Amino acid sequence: MTLHATVDRVTDRIRERSAKTRSDYQTKIARAAEDGPRRAHLSCGNQAHAYAAMPDKDDFAAARKPNVGIITAYNDMLSAHQPYERYPDLIRRAAHAAGATAQVAGGVPAMCDGVTQGRAGMELSLFSRDVIALASGVALSHDTFDSALYLGVCDKIVPGLVIAAATFGHIPAVFIPAGPMPSGLPNDEKSKVRQQFAAGEVGREALMAAEMASYHSPGTCTFYGTANSNQMLMEFMGLHLPGSSFVNPNTPLREALTTAAVTRAAAITRLGNDYLPAGDVLDERAFVNGIVGLMATGGSTNLIIHLPAMARAAGVLLDIEDFHDLSECVPLMARVYPNGLADVNHFHASGGLGFMIGQLIEAGLLHPDVKTIAGGGLDLYAQEPKLHDGQVHWVEGARASLNDKILRPASDPFAATGGLKQLDGNLGRGVIKVSAVAPERHVIEAPARVFSDQEEVKAAFKRGEFTQDTIVVVRFQGPRANGMPELHSLTPTLAVLQDRGLRVALVTDGRMSGASGKVPAAIHVSPEAANGGPLARLRDGDLLRLDATRGVLECLSEDFDARENASFDPARSAEGMGRELFAAFRAHVGPATEGAAVVV
């Protein structure tokens, strides 16, 4: 297998861009590891405090057993994280069987964008990623763990945990998924009812019935949004065990995979002969592999923000040009809602990530020679787990797709590219995901309607104001303005306009959900309007051009560059629903193109 020229070139570009930061990072984690297992340096009093509640504390104090720290995002309000309630007991039993011990080091917050969508709480969502990293850092600061298990699934949780794992890069890290809920009401049927409700064709009772039939049990939501994109990413980056991402909760295989992950975490500590610090796994090749997986699966645009922040924590510097260039050479191999009708359970049954990784390695589109927590290179991830006498065994994964309407080989994909485009022009830099957008809508030229709040868009829709082709601009939605909330609740409204025959698009310095699809959306536009970005100069009626084929985002009005910026009122997002607590975050957050981060 010869590595694809573009993958090789992008990897070299990232390596050169990151030469100093990566070198400094590697020096830092080597220094942290050089004096051996950390708890050997704790005083007797320190250790007594740490082990006082452990049932086997006397044995632990006398023996050199690995101690595994658990960072958990458990709460029972979120279906994706509810299964983690049982994990600590299971992990402790598995650790004991492996000659180790395990403790819950700390919990991290886990909020749900599905609950806060369109609400004030969404303005805290992106910042919760950095809070998760901080909370994990507090948990690991006790300096008493030889490896760490990270329990998290959804949108900001996994990126925050990866930032922490990279920051504590001298500690081995194993990520353990919870799995998707079984299939419920098909996602396209749920989406249809949402659009009918937005158009006033059905009432709230019908909408609620559809939503409850779709989100119906423990596990991750089954559409391919950010949560399931995260799970894919952890497998492509070698932080999950092979084939573990999309196994349903509360099944024998799910439990056996968790046990195997604990056994592996106990085996790769500094106390043994297979020491694997997290920082060695998280190199530039792992992040390139993650981006390739994102493009091949048509994954969430939120990862275009999260991956640069995650990588920066490991000394690796990513740019949106890296995403664009890799998208141009990586074929779209999957059709999972919103990019198709199937859900992640159907995708997994069709051959799933094992088939896809094997195909991409054969095509030279992945780095196979990376370090992974499975103990070898990425080729191990072309296998799939099977249960035999209660134990997990890995066998050769699917060599052919079991449903070519959902999953196709790299040689016969759904599309030749991953569908992610970089946009540039006099409105700033941004991105657009076109994998679910009809080709005839890849170029939209239309007058602008400019709003400063998504609720204003919905109100204008209800008043019947959208009667012609329109590019809807929602500005002052960036991280400094209001925490960069997702604008996914606009999707049904815009989809209704598009279905009425109008050519519509969205331009925003905010985010759209990984569940957004068929309406063209230029997102993450930077610099953001609240920080002097050009979106602040737009007016109603300006002729805009969103051209995904050429990567252009521009205002065609002749006097555009000479205008003054519209004023931004920070008081709109300064208080209520905890916004006060995040004022320092809004004041110091970086641009979306660099991960919209505060802590890295």
- Give CA torsion, residues 200, 203, 207, 210, to 10 deg: -110
21, 15 Cβ separation under 8 angstroms: no
Q: How far is residue 480 from each of residues 71, 489, 513, 588, 591, measured CA to CA in Å?
A: 29, 21, 19, 8, 8
Cβ contacts of 256-261, under 8 Å, gap ≥ 24: 256/385, 256/387, 256/390, 256/391, 256/392, 257/385, 257/392, 258/87, 258/90, 258/91, 258/94, 258/176, 259/90, 259/94, 259/97, 259/392, 260/392, 261/149, 261/174, 261/176
Q: How far is residue 318 from each of residues 2, 11, 304, measured CA to CA in Å?
A: 24, 10, 10
Q: Residue 118 contacts by C-beta under 8 Å, 6 or more apart in sequence? A: 454, 455, 488, 489
Distance CA 179, CA 539 (A): 46
Q: Residue 106 contacts by C-beta under 8 Å, 6 or more apart in sequence? A: 71, 72, 135, 136, 138, 139, 140
* Sheet of 101-107, strands arranged across: 101-107, 67-72, 147-151, 173-176
The answer to whether 44 is a known ligand-binding residue is no
The answer to whether 555 is a known ligand-binding residue is no
Name residue 117's beta-bridge partners.
none
523, 514 Cβ separation under 8 angstroms: no
Residue set of the binding site for [4Fe-4S] cluster: 154, 221
Residue set of the binding site: 154, 221
